[in-house]
Every structure is written in structure tokens, then in C-alpha cells.
Chain A
């Protein structure tokens, strides 16, 4: 309760710098060209691209470079979703509202399929977007929480390499943990 009471003063302090940032981005509005592993070209605003720590360090090493930045480990489909997430994030950078941010994050995650989430994790990891990685990991953890072993296997596309005896032994060791598991 106390945090929401403090919020008005917080936002009042922040309004000024936030408008400055807005005008700055409007002025420069520099676009950065990024090339994914499947040769798709993405033109992204500089402020969004700077969210990717990997891209940021690329420009820190070569400040004047205007070339296309190759992203060899990033396929186009999850990358477009990552950009979508970062665009949302930038809004909260200027105006930090934790509850609103959480709501927007959970909404972002909610409409993604399991496959989308799992595909985005390596991309977020490669681009070193810590916030996104946190959100994705938590979302995946929530989805496999209290699910059966078979569900988890199919979720990640993992083959069972245990023999039936070995698996029975493992289950027997902690039989109580396999009780009360949600139906698939």
C-alpha cells in the first residue's frame, strides 16, 4: 500500500527527464539494421537495439559503424517477438511503474505458445536481455510446475533415455513427490 502512496511524487520527479528522452529519440530516430540467421533484415530504432547488450557492445567496440549487425544465432520468428517485448520495456524505462510492468509482462507471456517461449529463451540469452530472460524463465517454470514427467518431456522435446527399471527405481526413491501431480 505504501508504494502506491509514494507513486505520485515519483512520477512528478520523472516527468521532466522522460520528455527529454522522448525528444531526443524523436530527433535522432536512428535506425539500426540487424540481420538474423535466416537472412531476414530488421530495422530497429536505436533505443530498442540498445536493450540488446550484445548489439550495444558491438557499437561500443566500433562507434562509427553503420553496417548491418549480423546475429548468427538468432532466427527471425522469435526475434520479432523479442523486439515486441523490448518496445514495451522502453516505455517503463522512462516511467517505472512496477505493477503496470508486471501486468504487461504477464500479458506478453500469456499469449505465447509453449513453443514460442522455449524458442525465445536462447535468443534472449544470446542478446543478453536480462529482464526478458527472467520473465521467460519464470513463465516456463510456471507452466511446468506440478506437471507430470511426461508433460515436461514433451514440453522441452526431450527423449526418455532411462530404461523402465531405472525410471521405476527413481520414482520409488521419492514416491511421495509424484503424488498430487496435476492432470495433463
Chain B
């Protein structure tokens, strides 16, 4: 039997479902190249749209995604069968969001703002890279295991101190009334402080990421599920709030001369520590810069050093304008706040 040319094969294959096409990829090399090619993808999509085939309804409950084939169930018979789709993001029951869909692709996100583009028909997904702009806050709330242990020890010890003290004073009161009251106040204060820091720790990004990561399994998973409504309530504020903190120069470690200069030249601004909204254009600029920086300093390589990254602050623009030799002193040799002020004055 003579074999058909590939363009005629394409016309036949575009009538098959995605699952069958995945099998057909292993028929031969030309077939695999044909099915993977962008033209065939378009042809298959066009045929599906023209003939209203491959239609699915996606239904979402809090943490599960279901699908229902449109042509099989609704048209042919009245019975509705829902099938579950295993979505690729970690969520337990923190909830999964479907941000949108186009041409059979779904965009989904979970409680820690992981975003993935997902093709349920071929069960493949790509996680959108973690926005580097969020790194700053992530660094700020970074907590390590020693800190967790330290927190628990201090919390436990103050609780025990309080219990022992109350038992002691109940049996035989050797101290004066004032002494007892002051000791109680101090101990209760310490317990409250420790409880607060533990709560902060539990609600931090680090904890959420740890909870949703693979390591937690079985019984502890059940406990986390109880926590989840609390978590989602406390995490109303997005990690990237679309606003920026204004830098307060007076709070910087630099001393008198800076403060005097500031009062002289910028009496009307920089007085308050406030947040301002960031426009999309500025956000894009920041994003580009951070991406550029990241490509230069990959944390996975051995020579990565955060301090080295910080000393580069402000070096780039003069270098790009090829006047680093003349103006380099204003950024490289001095403290960052001073350098900022110099450039402000120059402007």
C-alpha cells in the first residue's frame, strides 16, 4: 500500500483526540515531527472549533478540578459524569484558582501564588517562574530551622516558669504581695510575646511554603488542613502589593551631614516613611533590571555572594554610559545613602 503524503495524514489526524495523538507520535519520526509542529496544533484547534468537537466544561471545587466532556454527556445522553483532573500544583485544601483559559490551556494558581499554565488534555504544565520582584520580601521573612527550635524553647520555658511560679505561690506565699504581682506580670508578658512570635512564624511565607511542599505527609497533613482557613484569612495581602516603600534617609546609619543636607534641600519630601503605588511601566523596568541582575548572579552557582551583589548598587548606569572612570567614585567609593544624595543633588 502506498503511503499518503504528510499533509493528507495531517487532515486525518486532526480528527483524533489528544490522547490518541500522543500514541501516534511513536508511529514514526515524520509523524512525531508533524504532531509536535505548530501548524498541526493550529489545524487541530481549528478543526475542533469548526466541528465543536473536543469540548469540555471545567468545574472547580476548592481544591479539585473536574471536567465533563461536552459532546458525550450533554448531547447523547442525559447522564452527567464528572471526572477528576489531577492538577499539577501543590495545594492540599488551601484552594486552587483558575485564572483563565484559552484554546484548551488553563492558567491556575495556588495559595502561595505559584502560577502554572496547564494543558489538561496532554497532562503537561509549565510553572511560571517565580517573579524575582518578590524576592525582597521573601528574604525578609526567611526563617530557618534553628530559629524555629529557638522560638519553641523560649516559649516552652516561659510557660513552664509561669506554671511553676503559680504552684509555688499557691502552696506557701513567702514573697510580698507586690513581688508576686510584678513576677506574674513579667511572666505573662513573656508568654504572650512568645506566642505572638510563634504565630507570626506560622503565618509567614516560609511556613506556608513548607506546609504545601512535599515533605509533609500523612497525619500532619490533616492538622495543616485544620489550619488552612486561618492561613488564607491572614494572607489577604499579596506578596507583591503593587506599592513601594519610600526610603527614609534620616533613618539610615549615615550621620549629621546627610541630615543637614536633607533639611536644606529636600525639606518638603522624604519626611515620611510611606508607601506609594507603582505604575505598570515602572514595574516592568524594575522587573527587567532584576532579571538582568539575576542572570549575572545565579544563586545556584558556587561563587554566589549576596554582598557582592549589593556593592554593585548604582554601578550600572555610569558604566553603560562609558563614564565610569570619571563618575565611578560617586557610587563605588562611598556609602549607598551618600551616593544617592550626591546623585539627587546633581540631578
Q: CB within 8 A of A181: which of B23, B25, B31, B32?
A: B23
Instruction: Looking at the assembled complex, report how far the CB atom of A184 sits from the nearest CB atom of chain B, in whole angstroms.
Output: 13
Contacts of B16 in A (CB 8 A): 141, 144-145
Which of B2-10, B200-208, B285-293 forms contacts with chain A? B2-10
Q: Is the CB–CB distance between A177 and B22 below 8 Å?
A: yes
In angstroms, Cα B1 to Cα A147, docked, is 19
Which of A4-12, A16-24, A46-54, A168-176 forms contacts with chain B? A168-176
Is there a chain A Cβ closer than 8 Å to B29's Cβ?
Answer: yes
How many residues of chain B have a CB within 8 Å of chain A?
A: 27
Q: Is the CB–CB distance between A121 and B3 below 8 Å?
A: no
Contacts of A152 in B (CB 8 A): 23-24, 27
Q: How large is the interface on A (under 10, 10 to 19, 20 to 34, 35 or more residues)?
A: 20 to 34
Is there a chain A Cβ closer than 8 Å to B279's Cβ?
Answer: no
Q: Is the CB–CB distance between A156 and B4 below 8 Å?
A: yes
| Number of A-B contacts defined by CB within 8 Å | 77
Contacts of B26 in A (CB 8 A): 149, 162, 167, 170-171
Q: CB within 8 A of B1: which of A157, A162, A174, A177?
A: A157
Q: Is the CB–CB distance between B19 and A177 below 8 Å?
A: yes
Contacts of A149 in B (CB 8 A): 23-24, 26-27
Q: Is the CB–CB distance between A158 and B27 below 8 Å?
A: yes
Q: Is the CB–CB distance between B1 and A170 below 8 Å?
A: no
Instruction: Looking at the assembled complex, report how far the CB atom of B225 sits from the nearest CB atom of chain A, in whole angstroms.
Output: 28
A-B pairs, top 3 by smallest CB distance, nearest first, are A141-B15, A177-B22, A157-B1
A–B pairs, 20, beta carbons within 8 Å: A119-B1, A121-B4, A121-B8, A133-B11, A140-B12, A141-B13, A144-B12, A145-B16, A156-B3, A158-B3, A158-B31, A160-B28, A161-B29, A162-B28, A167-B26, A170-B26, A174-B122, A177-B19, A177-B23, A181-B23
Interface residues of B (CB under 8 A from A): 1-5, 8-9, 11-13, 15-17, 19-20, 22-29, 31-32, 122-123
